[in-house]
Amino acid sequence: MPIENLILHVKKSTMTDKLMNNDDKLVADINKRDLTEKDITEKEIIEKENTEKESIEKENIENKIDKTFMTQALQLADTAAEHEEVPVGALVVYKGKVIATGFNRPISDNDASAHAEINALREAGKVLGNYRLPECTLYVTLEPCTMCLGAMIHARITRLVFAANEPRAGAVESQLNLLDQSFFNHRIEWRGGVLASESSEKLKQFFKRKRS
């Protein structure tokens, strides 16, 4: 083979090998990238699943705690009914402990403001030695009225949990949606509907007995 052809053959072979090596590298890079993207995707899916699982577990724990304290508030509602007062009970929880309780007493005390929530707030203020009650959650068996919500805002209650809705005068969501207003200088986290049917049944039975 002439030297010129030999050189040309060698050059072609070198170029072919180089192209093949480049192709192999490109394929390897693509495969590596695909594996990396797959790893990232799987990692994101796992992290999302773990976050959702933690959120559900937290919600379940919170729901259990709310039901436990609301059950105690319902017992206070029974006490109100025994005094011929509308069966509404309330309690204030601070750092996981009940520090104050209250039930409806406007008739007994000749005091129009003696709602369950107000009585619980007054007692909590005495226990903590402050009219401000940050880090406190108030549980009540009936959606609060305008007066009680105003008192909670002034008291800086952190969270409100109520049972049954009050369709005629409920100020959280049934009528006024007061806690959604932006002009207040304090925001209260709230949740409704905890043991709502149990609370509603107590109210129905109380007024049924009153009418009979």
For residue 135, indicate whether it is catalytic.
Answer: no
DSSP-derived 3-state class of residue 114: coil
DSSP-derived 3-state class of residue 84: coil
- CB-based contacts of 116: which residues, under 8 Å, 6+ apart? 76, 77, 80, 88, 89, 90, 102, 103, 104, 140, 141, 142
Ramachandran bin of 129, using left for φ above 0, alpha for ψ from -120 to 50, beta for the remaining angles: left
Q: What gap in Å lies between CA 200 and CA 194, rounded to an integer? A: 11
- Choosing from 85, 117, 143, 166, the catalytic residue is 117
On the 0-12 / 13-18 / 19+ scale of CB atoms within 10 A, 141 is buried
Catalytic machinery residues: 117
